[in-house]
């Protein structure tokens, strides 16, 4: 183990060399050692202690991880505290689920927006929690102390999990804190993050979706962008400032730090930094992993999710209640399929697999130059190639039946499998217990927040997709069912489920529970299809999981070897860990870009673009008349730039990914200048390979946010709560 720690230290020491601005999601605890000199040269005016401190108020204390539930196991978005009363800005799409849950046809906050005039009007956003990082620390040595060279990969992971749980329990201080230990560099380092998690979070304000989601899926990841992607929440605590469940007696949390909001705007090459909780990147993925994603995994998920969102769209546009009901689900699915569509295109166009292969060739040459390295790393890449081939062969047979079996009556029928198994055992006590368990099923929950015409069409189209994807050899149970019982007509099978299945309606399910009969379940078309799906999926699941485990183990070894390779051959090379939903800092600058020959994009876009894109009545490009009037009159107040224009969004070179949505983008003084909310289409390959020439973060300008709050919504109470700053104009001599 001593050799491992020496190598880790060597790599960390090598990072003090040349640091590439823009690329990299850096751990804040290393800012002084790794990044500060570079950031200072680029224009940063804060000290390392003002950026990250355990003992004193620092910028990190204004950054909030947003998650579902009271455990900080993964953050779906980031927020930032912007007032002494813990007013929190994040993206509109981050608050979308909460806004949807609070909306009704009578109070449709998605369509109309919402603005609380005082604390009493703020609405509990159930399910959202706000996590503040107290500290982070390196626990690699403690975690590795329980490992030895004789362990299998599974034994190693079990030992790490047990030791991590022990360390987390000790750091929790009897439940005061929520610690979590995460692996970095594919399990070659481990760090503990200690959080305080606040679960009383309330909706304060949101623009209508026609502003907060302007451009919809069409504009997603596109530049220029004219989306006012923000929403406003507040974090509450008990009288002592501690986390507490929702109570009318709770008070707004007094934060350790909040961000001032700047009216200065941005200029080309201005220094920028973004702090937040990026979810997942795969910068150390091999060429084999890239090929698997592009050729197999992404197409499968893309096709399934695109089909589902198209069906949702068809019904959502016709009925306001259906739109509210499915808004959050549809947004998540649409975001994923378009992301994968962009990655498939740009990973090929930017030749990422080829560039990865070049690195792997250099790594292999380095390995082959030393017998000890050959023994340790010689088979890693070949093993990865073999197991990605296995995944490619099995993935369709795992993912398609998995998703189809989650559809409508098919999914509901699965809840009755245990009852059928008990009946088949002919154990009277087991059957009695199973029948009693049926009575506890919440049947209404199966149909809550669902719209039957939409769900019916979803089942028909999903079964059609499934049937057309596999032949009899690959999927004999389902294929033969359709061919023999329904004469090759998969729609007839779907209709049989919708019209005759026990599991198609709440009434028929309740009637069955009142008088259960296992034989009826076994013959039910939905249950028969469910079993066919399970048989299809199970046939490949064991080797699929085994291949994934082998890939994980060899990725660990590849990254371990790659760090040694860089430390020896390119000591100036900057290495940083992949994103894993832990607090990261990125820094860069405001910058335009040229995506193609004879095409040049400015680094800002203005409200004039809203007028240009506006389509009356269109569900993506319609906007409120009041916004149109304000833009046409150029009634922007103090939020206009020096030319009298209102900047809506701007570009920066910061390195972000999913989870960074809602992150603050700040200037050299740590003042909020905008909210990060997207990447750009031409660099959709960036999660796997950073593209410095093309990669940009799209940010909504803080001045547009304030303009919407103030001039559009008239929520001056929120403007008065903020710390708004503006630099004095420079006097020319």
For the annotated catalytic residues, the residue numbers are 93, 229, 661
φ and ψ at residue 239, rounded to 5 degrees: -60, -25
Tokens of 535: 């048989």
DSSP 709: I
Judge whether 646 and 271 are in contact, CB under 8 Å: no
- Map residue 338 onto helix, strand or coil: helix
3-class SS letters over 462-498: HHHHHHHHCCCCCCHHHHHHHHHHCCCCHHHHHHHHH
Cis peptide before 224 (omega within 30 of 0): yes
* Cα 362 to chain centroid, rounded: 33
DSSP 238: -
Q: Taking the CB of residue 307, how many other CB atoms lie within 10 A of it?
A: 18
Q: What is the CA radius of gyration of the chain?
A: 27
Contacts of 209 (CB under 8 A, 6+ apart): 92, 110, 111
* CB burial string 604-641: b at 16+ within 10 A, e below: bbbbebbeebbeeeeebbbbeeebbebbeeeebeebbb
Widest CA span of the chain, in angstroms? 97
Tokens of 2: 């001593």
- Map residue 72 onto helix, strand or coil: coil
Contacts of 556 (CB under 8 A, 6+ apart): 186, 187, 188
What's the CA gap between 393 and 388, in Å, rounded?
A: 9
Contacts of 427 (CB under 8 A, 6+ apart): none
What's the CA gap between 392 and 386, in Å, rounded?
A: 10
Tokens of 410: 């098919």
Residue with tokens 């962008």: 225
Judge whether 182 and 190 are in contact, CB under 8 Å: yes
What's the CA gap between 363 and 71, in Å, rounded?
A: 40
Judge whether 11 and 575 are in contact, CB under 8 Å: yes
Bridge partners (DSSP) of residue 179 are 194
Handedness of CA 131, 136, 138, 144 (dihedral sign): negative
What's the CA gap between 221 and 680, in Å, rounded?
A: 5
DSSP 32: I
Judge whether 593 and 651 are in contact, CB under 8 Å: yes
Q: Taking the CB of residue 165, how many other CB atoms lie within 10 A of it?
A: 11
What's the CA gap between 600 and 345, in Å, rounded?
A: 20
What's the CA gap between 602 and 594, in Å, rounded?
A: 9
Residue with tokens 């979308």: 96
Tokens of 373: 């390295």
For residues 296, 302, 304, 310, the Cα torsion angle rounded to the nearest 10 degrees is -160
- Map residue 324 onto helix, strand or coil: helix
Q: Which whole-number Å values give the CA distances from 133 to 34, 88, 198, 347, 508, in the listed order?
A: 20, 15, 12, 34, 50
What's the CA gap between 157 and 363, in Å, rounded?
A: 26
């Amino acid at each position: 183990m001593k050799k491992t720690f020496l190598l880790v230290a060597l790599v960390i020491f090598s990072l003090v060399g040349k640091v590439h601005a823009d690329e990299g999601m850096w751990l804040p605890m290393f800012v002084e050692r790794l990044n500060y000199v570079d950031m200072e040269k680029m224009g940063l005016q804060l000290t390392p202690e003002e950026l990250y401190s355990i003992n004193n108020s620092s910028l990190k204390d204004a950054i909030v991880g947003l998650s579902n539930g009271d455990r900080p196991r993964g953050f779906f978005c980031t927020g930032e505290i912007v007032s002494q009363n813990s007013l929190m800005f994040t993206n509109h799409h981050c608050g979308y689920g909460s806004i949807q849950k609070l909306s009704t046809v009578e109070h449709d906050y998605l369509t109309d927006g919402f603005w609380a005039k005082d604390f009493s009007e703020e609405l509990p956003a159930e399910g959202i929690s706000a996590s503040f990082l107290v500290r982070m620390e390196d626990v690699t040595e403690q975690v590795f102390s329980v490992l030895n060279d004789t362990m299998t990969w599974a034994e190693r992971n079990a030992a790490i999990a047990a030791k991590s749980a022990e360390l987390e329990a000790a750091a929790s201080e009897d439940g005061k804190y929520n610690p979590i230990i995460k692996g970095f560099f594919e399990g070659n380092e481990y760090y503990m993050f200690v959080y305080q998690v606040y679960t009383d979070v309330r909706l304060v304000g949101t623009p209508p979706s026609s502003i907060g989601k302007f451009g919809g899926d069409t504009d997603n990841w596109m530049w220029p962008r004219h989306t006012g992607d923000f929403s406003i929440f507040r974090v509450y605590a008990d009288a002592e400032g501690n986390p507490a469940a929702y109570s009318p007696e709770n008070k707004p949390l007094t934060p350790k730090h909040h961000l001032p909001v700047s009216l200065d705007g941005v200029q080309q090459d201005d220094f920028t930094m973004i702090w937040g909780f990026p979810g997942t990147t795969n910068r150390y993925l091999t060429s084999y992993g890239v090929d698997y994603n592009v050729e197999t995994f992404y197409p499968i998920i893309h096709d399934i999710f695109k089909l589902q969102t198209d069906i949702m769209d068809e019904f959502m546009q016709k009925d306001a209640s259906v739109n509210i009901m499915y808004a959050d689900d549809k947004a998540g699915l649409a975001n994923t399929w378009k992301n994968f569509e962009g990655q498939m295109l740009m990973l090929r166009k930017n030749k990422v697999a080829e560039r990865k292969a070049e690195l792997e060739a250099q790594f292999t040459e380095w390995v082959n130059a030393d017998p000890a390295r050959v023994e340790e790393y010689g088979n890693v890449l070949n093993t990865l190639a073999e197991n990605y081939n296995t995944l490619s062969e099995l993935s369709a047979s795992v993912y398609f039946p998995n998703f189809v079996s989650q559809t409508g009556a098919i999914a509901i029928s699965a809840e009755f499998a245990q009852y059928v198994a008990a009946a088949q055992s002919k154990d009277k006590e087991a059957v009695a217990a199973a029948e009693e368990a049926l009575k506890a099923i919440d049947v209404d929950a199966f149909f809550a927040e669902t719209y039957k015409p939409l769900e019916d069409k979803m089942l028909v189209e999903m079964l059609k997709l499934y049937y057309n994807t596999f032949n009899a050899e690959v999927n004999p149970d389902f294929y033969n069912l359709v061919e023999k019982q329904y004469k090759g007509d998969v729609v007839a099978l779907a209709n049989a489920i919708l019209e005759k299945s026990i599991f198609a309606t709440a009434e028929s399910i309740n009637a069955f529970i009142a008088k259960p009969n296992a034989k009826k379940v076994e013959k039910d078309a939905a249950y028969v299809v469910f079993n066919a799906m399970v048989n299809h999926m199970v046939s490949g699941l064991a080797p699929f999981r085994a291949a994934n485990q082998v890939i994980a183990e060899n990725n660990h070894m590849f990254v371990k070897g790659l760090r040694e390779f860089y430390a020896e051959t390119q000591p100036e090379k900057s290495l940083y860990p992949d994103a894993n939903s832990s607090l990261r800092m990125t820094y860069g600058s405001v910058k335009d870009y040229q995506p193609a020959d004879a095409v040049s994009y400015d680094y800002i876009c203005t409200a004039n673009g809203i007028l240009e894109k506006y389509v009356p009545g269109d569900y993506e490009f319609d906007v409120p008349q009041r916004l149109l009037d304000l833009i046409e009159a150029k009634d922007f107040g103090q939020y206009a730039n020096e030319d009298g224009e209102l900047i809506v969004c701007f570009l920066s070179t910061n390195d972000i990914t999913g989870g960074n949505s809602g992150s603050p983008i700040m200037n050299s003084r740590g003042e909020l200048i905008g909210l990060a909310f997207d990447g750009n289409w031409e660099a959709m390959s960036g999660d796997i390979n950073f593209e410095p020439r093309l990669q940009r973060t799209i940010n909504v300008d803080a001045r547009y946010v304030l303009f919407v709050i103030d001039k559009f919504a008239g929520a001056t109470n929120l403007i008065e709560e903020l710390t708004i700053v503006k630099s004095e104009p420079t006097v020319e001599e």
